[in-house]
Structure 1
Amino acid sequence: MLGNTKDLLKSTYKLSERIFALCQQAEDDIACLFKNIGEIRAYNQYKVIDAMQRERVGERFFAATSGYGYDDQGRDTLERIYARIFETEDAIVRPQIASGTHAISLCLYGLLRPGDTMLSITGRPYDTLQEVIGINGMGPGSLKEWGILYEEVELLDDGSFDTEGIKRAIIDHTPKVIAIQRSRGYQWRKSIDVSTIGSVIQFMRDLGCNAAIVVDNCYGEFTELLEPTQVGADIAAGSLIKNPGGGIAPTGGYIVGKSDMIGRIAYSLTAPGIGKEVGSYAGGYRNFYQGLFMAPHVVGEALKGAILAGRIFELLEYGVFPSSNDRRTDIIQSIRFEEADKLKAFCRGIQKAGPVDSFVVPEPWDMPGYEHQVIMAAGTFVQGASIELSADGPMRPPYIGHLQGGLTYDHVKLGLMLALKEMGI
């Protein structure tokens, strides 16, 4: 770190020499890991550029549209670009999809019917999806209320797939949809890399299983060379205020996959017989294109920041997942704080580093769709955008905080330094 930079940070944020020394040691330890991230970033960057060029993106595609949105060139071209990048037959990319949970819900309601069974092979899904399924009760509109059955197979203790358990579940329940959650959510486990997803898909196909395989791809896009749809997944879905929006897309979600399944899902988005043919956007599509263009670079910055966080807290002897030198397949770094006050202090520090709402003090609250109170730090330009630097965690033992995002590595580093200060380090 340049002396001028250090002096600026010391005078502005009153950081201690111990914090600077800790960050410097962590950076020295992880410097060798950044080369691979750069290679993955470059590959995905060129892949995105190629897809845009092949679809002959022009200025006219950025224009606002209104009404029904018939023949909306900006919308339709953006969807073809996503299909190219993910190597799928079709795609839905819409600002009307409010979140990753919304995107995945559309998949489930489009592909499942009363009496069908959904099988999760990565154990209990993310908190918000549990309400959709009806795990916590027969809520209005849940899959359970519609008579759709749910089964799950937990991962093994080492985080790998329980292939014997999966085989039994397929034989016993004949699932219509098999769900895979790539990222860990609020679980203390490793995320599932694309190669492993491909292997378990091949295992299930070899059993004669013809269920639709749906991957929750949130937080994983562009962290590897391949995406789940390139190794056999029928459908992948995620949020545009996470990785593929590049921190620029203001809202939205995407679903990519086989054309017949995308058609059914599109009917659940709009209406039977209408599907993808309608859907205008008065804000215009420039930010969705530009965000996608920036996404590989931004994801690379977030990955570097996550590795730094992992190493810093390893040096402080906190439990972390993944470790700083583990292979990365999503942008999340989990830290086990053991005490509620430490998790709160960490989130306060991350919030203080934000370019937006840095003066706000995060407090735990009853966040919709979550079983426990959640504390969340998010000084972001786009509300709730977890590709921007943010941190959150459920207020339950062992008080695990989840750090994700960061449009620039330097911002993540500042957030970590301020978090250390708030924790009294």
Structure 2
Amino acid sequence: MRDNIHSDFDRQWEQWAEEAEEQVAARFRTLDRIVEFNQTKVIRAFQKHRVSDYHFAASTGYGYNDSGREVLDRVYAEVFGAEAAIVRPHLVSGTATISAALFGCLRPGDELLFVTGKPYDTLHKVIGKPGDGLGSLADWGVRTVIVPLLSDGGVDWDAVEAAVTDRTKVFAIQRSRGYDWRPSFTVEQIGDMATRIKALKPDGIVFADNCYGEFTERMEPTEVGVDLIAGSLIKNPGGGLAASGGYIAGKERLVELAAFRMTAPGIGGEVGAMLGTTRSIYQGLFLAPLLVGQAVKGSVFAASMFAKLGFETHPKWDDPRTDLIQAIRFAGADPLVHFVQAIQKAAAVDAHVVPEPWDMPGYEHPVIMAAGTFIQGGSLELSADAPVREPYIAYMQGGLTYAHVKFAVRQALSDFRERGYL
């Protein structure tokens, strides 16, 4: 009987998958053009800065005169249309990288204004509370103001204008949706934000958290008026090969200030042994446009498939894409948890592990995470996570190959069929 159930599902799956791929075929062609554009941009940056195999040599100690590291910084700046960049394995996560950028720009008495609503959960401790003793921004006398988004997910410009004071120094934008049921912001929208912010305060610094967004469009925020961006190498730009690290790119003086925070004042980016990571960071950047394209195709397919079966998806399969993240809403905690567990079951690494919700540091609610990845926490690889709270939304991202995402969707739907959700 069980074999018959699986045979029935196999036949149903083939039909569903064929219909979904026919539906998204034109969207896939558009994504292929974006991949080609960004691949060309990366190759030309490598060529312009004369990347050679000797640039992949490891450095030790202080890492003085590490030409591979210095050229890598210039290549990143070129790719992101920025004056300067720092790319280091020592920036241990996206949160740490964003923290270095913000602390570099802000001083006691300054104000940080988030124009795109409440930031991602892990930044809450970076913002902190006055006197918390953690060395947070608030502990150092930096005031943070968060302007909620409008009900349609847009920026509340009246509230932003009302929040600006003489002390407001940094205006922060989060490109991706985080744990919110809203559209992520496109580069065009971010460019419009930068223009409006500069009109409000010409000397204000516009900062964007670029995590999950790199290479999903033809342009990056630093090409449309943003002063400084930050991101993680174990997300898009690391191409699945960078084992750790982050990057900061933008105006030269601001990048320098962030580098002083990363190491020490007066030292900045002049030191920092790469410890054998340089080759994988270069090669990961080379592969990143293609692999980001594979992941985005997987998200588009998943959106089409789950919508076909009656689930709410955001973005929809034919919506514009500006990051890797695919949100899917479920009817309750059980299907949410089972979806994330099915994604883990579809991994090549740790497929036998069953994730459970837990109180993860930096998060306000129990979180369940599927991450059967070669790089721990590598979210360009297929992963899924969700805070176990209403309205029960899972956030799936990544997939080094489209075929892997398709396989994972099949696994989830097969499990749902057995549990009676379909």
Structure 2 residue aligned with 1:288, among 281, 285, 299? 281
Q: How does 1:26-41 map to 2 (within 5 A)?
A: 26-41=20-35
Shift in Å at residue 420 of structure 1? 1.1
User: Aligned residue for 2:241?
Assistant: 248
CA distance, structure 2, for counterparts of residue 307 and residue 204 of structure 1 = 32
Q: How does 1:330-409 map to 2 (within 5 A)?
A: 330-409=323-402
- Counterpart of 1:32 in 2: which secondary structure? helix
Q: Does residue 320 of structure 1 match 2:302? A: no
Q: Deviations over 1:90-142 (max 9, x none)?
A: 10100000111111000111111111100000000000001110169935111
- Relative to 1, partners in 2 of residues 1:258 and 1:318: Cα closer, same or farther, differing over 3 Å? same
Preserved CA contact (<8 Å) 1:15 1:417: no
- Listed as ranges, the gaps of 5+ residues in structure 1 are 1-9
Q: Kindly provide the amino acid, as one letter, of the partner of residue 103 in structure 2.
A: Y
Preserved CA contact (<8 Å) 2:228 2:249: yes
Preserved CA contact (<8 Å) 2:129 2:139: no
CA distance, structure 2, for counterparts of residue 130 and residue 308 of structure 1 = 33
- Relative to 1, partners in 2 of residues 1:18 and 1:57: Cα closer, same or farther, differing over 3 Å? same
Q: Kindly provide the amino acid, as one letter, of the partner of residue 115 in structure 2.
A: I
Q: CA RMSD in A?
A: 1.8
Q: Does residue 237 of structure 1 match 2:207? A: no
User: Aligned residue for 1:152?
Assistant: 146
User: Aligned residue for 1:111?
Assistant: 105
Q: Does residue 102 of structure 1 match 2:105? A: no
- Relative to 1, partners in 2 of residues 1:47 and 1:334: Cα closer, same or farther, differing over 3 Å? same
Q: Does residue 84 of structure 1 match 2:78? A: yes
CA distance, structure 1, for counterparts of residue 121 and residue 244 of structure 2 = 21
CA distance, structure 2, for counterparts of residue 355 and residue 266 of structure 1 = 37
Shift in Å at residue 189 of structure 1? 0.5
Shift in Å at residue 278 of structure 1? 0.6
Preserved CA contact (<8 Å) 2:62 2:273: yes
- Counterpart of 1:329 in 2: which secondary structure? coil
CA distance, structure 1, for counterparts of residue 129 and residue 35 of structure 2 = 38
- Counterpart of 1:16 in 2: which secondary structure? helix
- Counterpart of 1:364 in 2: which secondary structure? coil
Structure 2 residue aligned with 1:419, among 399, 403, 412? 412
- Relative to 1, partners in 2 of residues 1:209 and 1:371: Cα closer, same or farther, differing over 3 Å? same
CA distance, structure 1, for counterparts of residue 251 and residue 49 of structure 2 = 19
Shift in Å at residue 15 of structure 1? 5.2
CA distance, structure 2, for counterparts of residue 415 and residue 146 of structure 1 = 45
Q: Does residue 44 of structure 1 match 2:38? A: yes
Q: Deviations over 1:255-279 (max 9, x none)?
A: 0011111111111011111111110
- Counterpart of 1:209 in 2: which secondary structure? coil
Report how many residues are paired. Answer: 415
Q: How does 1:179-328 map to 2 (within 5 A)?
A: 179-328=172-321
User: Aligned residue for 2:123?
Assistant: 129
Per the normalisation by structure 1, the TM-score is: 0.95
CA distance, structure 1, for counterparts of residue 180 and residue 203 of structure 2 = 29
| Runs of 4 or more above 4 Å deviation | 10-15
Preserved CA contact (<8 Å) 1:351 1:378: yes
Shift in Å at residue 11 of structure 1? 12
Q: Kindly provide the amino acid, as one letter, of the partner of residue 212 in structure 2.
A: Y
Q: 247-256 or 16-25, which moves further after superposition?
A: 16-25
CA distance, structure 2, for counterparts of residue 159 and residue 96 of structure 1 = 35
Q: Deviations over 1:50-96 (max 9, x none)?
A: 00011111111111110000011111111100000111111010000
Q: Does residue 73 of structure 1 match 2:56? A: no
- Counterpart of 2:298 in 1: which secondary structure? helix
Preserved CA contact (<8 Å) 1:348 1:422: no
Per the normalisation by structure 2, the TM-score is: 0.95
Q: Deviations over 1:121-180 (max 9, x none)?
A: 00000000011101699351111111110101122111122222222122x464111100
Q: Percent identity?
A: 52
Q: Deviations over 1:21-59 (max 9, x none)?
A: 222221121111111101111000000000001111111
Q: Kindly provide the amino acid, as one letter, of the partner of residue 93 in structure 1.
A: V
Q: Kindly provide the amino acid, as one letter, of the partner of residue 295 in structure 2.
A: A
CA distance, structure 1, for counterparts of residue 385 and residue 250 of structure 2 = 31
- Listed as ranges, the gaps of 5+ residues in structure 2 are none
